[in-house]
Amino acid sequence: MAIATGASNGATAITDAKRRYQAGVLKYGQMGYWEPDYVPKDTDTVCLFRITPQEGVDPVEAAAAVAGESSTATWTVVWTDRLTACDSYRAKAFRLEPVPNGPGQFFAWVAYDIILFEEGSIANMTASLIGNVFSFKPLKAARLEDIRIPAAYVKTFKGPPTGLIVERERLDKFGRPLLGATTKPKLGLSGRNYGRVIYEGLKGGLDFMKDDENINSQPFMHWRDRFLYVMDAVNKASAATGEVKGSYLNVTAATMEDMYERAEFARQLGSVVVMIDLVIGWTAIQSMSNWARRNDMILHMHRAGHGTYTRQKNHGVSFRVIAKWLRLAGVDHLHAGTAVGKLEGDPLTVQGYYNVCRDSYTRRDLPRGIFFDQDWCDIRKVMPVASGGIHAGQMHQLLDLFGDDVVLQFGGGTIGHPAGIQAGAVANRVALEAMVKARNEGHNIRIEGAEILRKAARFCGPLQQALDTWGDITFNYTPTDASDFTPTAAVAR
């Protein structure tokens, strides 16, 4: 086995060509994948991996192996390396540090030449960076924590088809977060009843309603029926309120041909937005982004499935990396966590995800898990979505954490309202308007938020009912993916 099992005395690259390319097995460091003096170029992609070597495996050699197996190396010397510009094509591990409070874990910095990746292809980039290397036996675990994508490579991507600013202009909604809700139950309703839920939510004051990740075209409701009833509800709610309304029509399907057919039908019906799931894969995501750009459509991304590889701290891919890839791939909305809801999310870490979506230039911010500066080269901004176990009683926390450029989605917190769906929507809209007004007047909503809501509820029965029903509901569990530098507790009411 090429991995070193002792001290790092085998990490020095062999420069003598005869010895370097002699048939047999060399350590990865000897093959040139460890360069502690290397200074990354502006055009390099730089990745930060969290690695956990097996017992007895030298961490330096493990870092070199990650660089090798994610670029050009194999387990033995191959003379065909000499037919290439191999010194350029090799990834280079150049820095190694122990993880704070993580025994046996190390942060490894690895640089990749821009020539290693196909322009404008997330599929190609991920095939290298998270391809075989995560199954490598000498590593107990490996996680891609963060990535710096060079400006030269960023410019090969089109990015979001609509973007945060243009979306607000199309919807004519400014100065506050957008409000939404996921139709519940997410499976089992007929098309007609599904449409009724959509109408009630939008009529009550929400900006968006949405399909959930697993509603596609099942026996109880064919996709075409759903689209027809949903758009009838959207149009009636828009006429009743005088506001632009939308509902995320999930076009996720078995084939690209099916997805294009569904998206085209949504466009013909006048929808302003379509939705896809992360599970469709990078090629399909970029293909749907191109379609949305051609057809002036907002593209909503549900991150279905991400927790299988983003949640565990020692193995997988951090969601901040997924968020960067999705911004490049080209989505307009992205579920990015709530911090206060039912789903995983440390408050500062989640804020880091939001910054990745909305920044023009993301600055290194270790407490929020951001290890690199990232120039987005004026690529359009993604609207983050907070969804999952949130309710009107948390409005001050959500506005304080995430600001205005976010979609706040209250599914159960709208549809589960004791006075009905429309009352649930009214409660959320009044809570939001009251909180934005108080913030704009100079109130400290983080401290005064609960009292602001109580005062607003005196004049709004649905809000009072919402606070009575859910006011004491919290999801206070220790996050599994907090920053290694500034651990923070989950937000409590």
Residues recognised as catalytic:
184, 302
| Cα distance between residue 185 and residue 149, in whole Å | 40
Buried b (16+ CB within 10 A) or exposed e, 133-155: bbebebbbbbbbbbbbbbeebbe
- In 3D space, the residue among 212, 149, 187, 200 whose CA is nearest the CA of residue 377 turns out to be 149
User: Which residues, including other chains, have CB under 8 Å from residue 261's CB and lie 6 or more apart?
Assistant: none
- In 3D space, the residue among 228, 272, 267, 232 whose CA is nearest the CA of residue 248 turns out to be 272
| Cα distance between residue 249 and residue 265, in whole Å | 10
What token pair was written down for 409? Answer: 């989605």
Strands (E), 100-233: 106-112, 139-148, 178-182, 208-210
Compute the CA torsion angle 20, 22, 26, 29 (nearest 10 deg).
10
- In 3D space, the residue among 156, 326, 334, 179 whose CA is nearest the CA of residue 246 turns out to be 179
The 3-state DSSP class for residue 383 equals strand
Could you tell me whether strands 106-112 and 92-98 are parallel, antiparallel, or unpaired per DSSP bridges? Answer: antiparallel
| Cα distance between residue 400 and residue 434, in whole Å | 13
Distance (Å) of CA 211 to CA 77, 189, 260, 264, 344: 52, 12, 17, 17, 21
Strand partners, 159: none
Peptide bond into 418 cis (omega under 30): no
Residue type, 399: L
Distance (Å) of CA 126 to CA 92, 231, 349, 418: 17, 37, 23, 46
| Cα distance between residue 46 and residue 36, in whole Å | 14
| Cα distance between residue 180 and residue 197, in whole Å | 12
The 3-state DSSP class for residue 338 equals coil
Q: Is the dihedral of CA 387, 388, 391, 395 positive or negative?
A: negative
